[in-house]
Amino acid sequence: MVIILLSNVEWKISNTLINYDFAISEMQKRIIKIKNNTDNELIWLLEHSSIFTAGTSAKDEDLINNQVETRRTGRGGEWTWHGPGQRVVYVMLNLKKRLPDVKAYVNALEEWIILTLEDFDIHGVRLENKPGVWVINKDNSYDKIAALGVRISSWVSWHGISINVNPNLEEFKNIVPCGIQDGGVTSLYNLENISSFEHLDNNLSKNFTKVFGNQSLFKLNRL
């Protein structure tokens, strides 16, 4: 595990696969402390063991393979997959310190992803009524490269974003990702032969300040 020191925001990078239930438990404990001003805000970067999670809008019929391991969770959104090769970023921020506006927060997360993709010369876009960040493919249609699923408790955010670095994209065939029938999925590796989490993490850290403000200024120290 790597701890990154910030002025007011702690960054943690887990270098082993993290069990989903453990992550939820850790987030629940941390957001209570953030709400009570007894601990720092936290950005937690990790990879999960393979798991399919259902948000509050998930439909049972969008789980195509009912033999896979699943969890119902309180985040927004529908079905998604987490697993090796995907960077999950859990964002625990006190929105009262910034802007207590859920729509603005979701827009900020999307902008953070789009700016980070630009560092890889990848043009990410928002699509109407299709959450997440998308890229155009060789057939001039769109594939999703990053997903969002957030929850706000007493104006403290948790859950967050996921970016496909080099996962097994076949896993997404077990579900209708985010309830969208006509969208594909892709990864940094598929687009630009990029599979380095460290490269992605550095760009995420650089762009976080641009989107969320000077409170996030920090020095990245990998152990």
Q: Which of 126, 127, 195, 121 is nearest to 163 (CA)?
A: 195
Active-site entry in 178, 185, 188, 200: 178
* DSSP 8-state class, residue 95: G
Residue 20 CB contacts under 8 Å (≥ 6 apart), including other chains: 48, 49, 51, 53, 71, 82
Q: Are strands 9-18 and 41-48 parallel, antiparallel or unpaired?
A: parallel
CB atoms within 10 A of CB 23: 19
178 is catalytic: yes
Annotated catalytic sites, by residue? 178
